[in-house]
Structure 1
Amino acid sequence: MKKQLRGKLVLGALLLLGLGGCGSEAGSNGVIVNPPVTGPVPDMSIDACFTMTTSLGEVGLGIDSLHTPQSAANFIGYVDDGFYDGTLIHRVIHNFIIQGGGFTSGMVAKPGGAPISNEARVGFSNLRGTLAMARGRQSDSATSQFFINILDNPQLDYSASSPGYAVFGKVLFGMEVVDQIGIVATTRVGEYSDVPLEEVVIERIAPSECPIVED
């Protein structure tokens, strides 16, 4: 169990996109110190919904534009522009995450737009089935890429030592498709690791009706 937990922490720290950040103060020991989250973590409010059609099936995505407005507007903007159509789920780390939105066939990079602020401080946790923004080492560096958590990954949350990865939505249906993608064989392509051996294509992401939530 300790070995598995240690492995997950290493994956979170090293294999996703790096946990360095800007906009945080470094203490005398060099550890990043973030201001504490104040107030209770809000309930996720799903107010925009989409169907992501992949070469392995459909996945319903719900977005919270109330509590994570920048992440939501960013994602919706890419959807409206058709940016994601024909891109790949280019990174699959078993029992961790699947990641997409930044490469086309052959692992050709598709540059995104301007980076956005990291909204991880809202407090949503990277639980199984949640949708989050991928980013570089800098905290406010997310552009088009996103990931879906296959398992609970609280090590990716905002904390005193990490700016975290901003969760801004969740899977509404098709988690079995996510799980299927999450077990595909992977390989290394040039400088990129954890690339599906057979391409998993995001054929389209399109707006859809949100499910009616009964009081």
Structure 2
Amino acid sequence: MLRRAALSCSLIFGLSALPLQAGPLVQMQTSAGNLEIELFDEQAPKTVANFLHYAQQGYYEGTIFHRVIPGFMIQGGGFTQAMQKKPTDAPIENESGNGLSNRAGTLSMARTNDPNSATTQFFINSVDNPRLDARGNQPGYAVFGRVIKGMDVVNEISNTPTTVRPPHRDVPQTPIVILAVKPIEAAAPDVPPQ
């Protein structure tokens, strides 16, 4: 209960005050460098389970960041380097009303105009994007994690030159490939000598 109260309080003031480990940790290895990501399984359980399911299946290996908009976000997780969309499982329920905000460094699920259409694609906010949050009865884009190491890589990807590959815009000229998404085992706590 105390952890939840502290977490709720920290959400009001932004993600920088979140506990060091609110959920599972994964490493996203990319051709531009590696990211360490903390997943918010308490606030977005279905979204995190969905993401981890695809990661464990090796789904993300070889997909690219196919949409990059400087000063906004980088999106990936659904297309091959040939810009072929990969098949997915059924969409998941939108969990955007979980109290988390689309702040710089957070991961959110990409979707269509249908709020419950997210499958594999995600984006990383390169700046604060509160306009993407849920408001009242209006669903937003579900935040389910944050980058805890590697924001320099996110910024590098965000500033990469893009082109048009019809019908897609904002596609990096040089593909930025996701090589793997793997769990990071939590370090065992230090035990003082007896």
Shorter-chain TM-score above 0.5: yes
Shift of 1:56: 0.7
Letter in 1 for 2:89: G
Shift of 1:190: 1.1
Aligned pairs (5 A) from 1:129-208: 129-160=105-136, 162-208=138-184
Q: Structure 1 CA distance, aligned partners of 2:169 and 2:137?
A: 26
Count of residue correspondences: 176
Select 1:82's aligned residue among 55, 58, 79. 58
Select 1:69's aligned residue among 42, 45, 51. 45
C-alpha contact (below 8 Å) 1:88/1:200 kept by paired residues: yes
TM-score by length of 2: 0.85
| In the alignment, structure 1 residue 120 sits paired with structure 2 residue 112 | no
Aligned identity (percent) is 44
Deviation per CA, 1:154-187, whole angstroms, max 9, x where unpaired?
0000013631000011001000000000000011
C-alpha contact (below 8 Å) 1:101/1:146 kept by paired residues: yes
Name stretches of at least 5 consecutive residues in structure 1 with no aligned partner. 1-38
TM-score by length of 1: 0.77
C-alpha contact (below 8 Å) 1:41/1:124 kept by paired residues: no
Query: Could you say if the C-alpha distance between residues 204 and 124 of structure 1 is closer, same or farther in structure 2, counting changes exceeding 3 Å?
Result: same
Give the corresponding residue for 2:27.
51
Deviation per CA, 1:18-61, whole angstroms, max 9, x where unpaired?
xxxxxxxxxxxxxxxxxxxxx99835662111111100100011
C-alpha contact (below 8 Å) 1:132/1:168 kept by paired residues: yes
Q: Structure 2 CA distance, aligned partners of 1:165 and 1:65?
A: 16
Q: Structure 2 CA distance, aligned partners of 1:151 and 1:79?
A: 25
Report the aligned-residue RMSD: 2.1
Shift of 1:106: 1.5
Shift of 1:66: 1.2
Shift of 1:210: 4.2
Name stretches of at least 5 consecutive residues in structure 2 with no aligned partner. 12-17, 190-194
C-alpha contact (below 8 Å) 1:50/1:62 kept by paired residues: yes
Letter in 1 for 2:174: E
**4+ residue runs of structure 1 moved beyond 2 angstroms?**
39-46, 209-213
Shift of 1:94: 0.6
Query: Could you say if the C-alpha distance between residues 166 and 41 of structure 1 is closer, same or farther in structure 2, counting changes exceeding 3 Å?
Result: farther
Query: Could you say if the C-alpha distance between residues 184 and 211 of structure 1 is closer, same or farther in structure 2, counting changes exceeding 3 Å?
Result: farther
